[in-house]
Structure 1
Amino acid sequence: KLSFKIICVFQISDEEQGYDLDLFCIPKHYADDLERVYIPHGLILDRTERLAREIMKNMGGHHIVALCVLKGGYKFFADLLLDYIKALNRNSDLTKQIHLILNDTHPHLLDLLLVRDIIDTGKTMKTLLELLKQYNPKMVKVASLLVKRTPRSVGYRPDFVGFEVPDKFVVGYALDYNEYFRDLNHICVISETGKEKYKA
């Protein structure tokens, strides 16, 4: 029987203002649509590597099916699984196979690692986890790059968290606003101009 410890979470305070856009490479077409760079790309990658180590430590020895939940998580999913966990697995004596699939086919066969971009209220994840119960998976764990501190939260917490962030509207690193900003490497706070420009 495995025991899972609570890992340290990178908490970003409510007072954190982020970084001036001029300090980073921002696509010109988004220059007026963002307020600040909130989490730089390099910090995202470093934190993702650390999460990969925690996942390997806590789920070692298991055959894992990794599922990307919604398309906003594809960059985090790719960096976490294809780069860091795969590299750690090559350099490890653990007998682990990471199966990378994007659909929930035969979840009862293996242990599941669900990978998300952001947990906002937590309602989506709670609903998904309830749906997965009907397949009787051996184990389900959730890794999320971001968890938002919001009064709308239902109290759900994933097993692995990259950053805990204030209740701000963030975009970039595949997080979108009406399908825009997915191509932005950094996680940024969208401006009112950007919200108005790209509203549906």
Structure 2
Amino acid sequence: MYTGAGKMLQISDNESGYDPELFCIPKHYVEDLERVFIPHGLIMDRTERMARDITKEMGGAHIVVLCVLKGGYKFFADLLDYIKALNRNQDESLPMTIDFIRLKSYCNDQTVEEVKVIGGDDLCTLAGKNVLIVEDIVETGRTMKKLLTLLENYKPQMVKVASLLLKRTPRSSGYRPDFVGFEIPDKFVVGYALDYNEYFRDLNHICVISEKGRQKYKV
């Protein structure tokens, strides 16, 4: 791993991860994981640094933090905890309110052609506001582009995107978020609220799912 351009941790294509037996894994997932890819402690440390970067860049004005459900909820909660800690311990603070939207673009481990936007009926309150979208992972970028296009209709003053993960994939549209935790290879990862058909959200680490796990939870 190394720190690349854009203040993110880039994980190389040949990164093999770690043996799950070296970590605390829920027993019901032990046989479903190939490798631990990003341990929970590293996620938390990187999230804390992202909170500092976001506060520095967006501080000075009230922001609306928009969580993309369901996968973004854990990153969202931890990121806000770190921002709130900074607010308590610094001379300047970042006033925040929160809102939620849900997008659906996966079936099994494949993106679907149509991205479904669920919710957003009250997004008119974003007019004239500074908005921070918090997402778990950006892969092709199509889902985020759809959300950004949707938000344009409500005329916010500014919109920034913070994503825990950015996937390097030939399917990418070229879109890159403003704040990124980790740039990862083209692997399907689960854990830390990222799911495979709603499973693995209760796993602390970000892991690569095994073929046995794919078949076990396939719909």
Instruction: Give yes or no for TM over 0.5.
Output: yes
After superposition, give the CA deviation of every residue in 1:59-88 in whole Å (9 maximum; x if it has no partner): 11010000101210000000001x100110
Aligned-partner residue type, residue 92 of structure 1 = Q
3-state SS of the aligned residue for 2:84? helix
Q: If the length of structure 2 is used for normalisation, what is the TM-score?
A: 0.86
Counterpart selection for 1:110 from 113, 129, 137 = 129
Aligned-partner residue type, residue 13 of structure 2 = D
1:97 aligns with 2:95: yes
- How many residue pairs get matched? 194
Aligned-partner residue type, residue 156 of structure 1 = Y
Report what 2:73 is aligned to: 74
1:124 aligns with 2:143: yes
3-state SS of the aligned residue for 2:64? strand
Match runs of 1:156-167 below 5 Å: 156-167=175-186
Q: If the length of structure 1 is used for normalisation, what is the TM-score?
A: 0.94
Task: Work out the CA distance in 2 between the residues paired with 1:64 and 1:163.
Answer: 24
Aligned-partner residue type, residue 126 of structure 2 = P
Report what 2:47 is aligned to: 48
Deviation of 1:185 after TM superposition, in Å, equals 0.1
Match runs of 1:59-70 below 5 Å: 59-70=58-69
Task: Work out the CA distance in 2 between the residues paired with 1:90 and 1:26.
Answer: 34
Report what 1:194 is aligned to: 213
Q: Once the two structures are aligned, what percentage of the paired residues are identical?
A: 71
Task: Work out the CA distance in 2 between the residues paired with 1:12 and 1:168.
Answer: 11
3-state SS of the aligned residue for 1:56? helix
* RMSD, aligned CA: 1.1
Unaligned runs of 5+ in 2: 102-119
Higher strand share: 2
Unaligned runs of 5+ in 1: 1-5
3-state SS of the aligned residue for 1:195? helix
After superposition, give the CA deviation of every residue in 1:108-128 in whole Å (9 maximum; x if it has no partner): 142100000000100010011
Match runs of 1:19-38 below 5 Å: 19-38=18-37
8 Å Cα contact 2:65-2:133 kept in structure 1: yes
Report what 1:58 is aligned to: 57
Report what 2:83 is aligned to: 85
Aligned-partner residue type, residue 41 of structure 1 = H
Which is further off, 179-188 or 108-117? Answer: 108-117
Aligned-partner residue type, residue 144 of structure 1 = S
Task: Work out the CA distance in 1 between the residues paired with 2:133 and 2:30.
Answer: 33
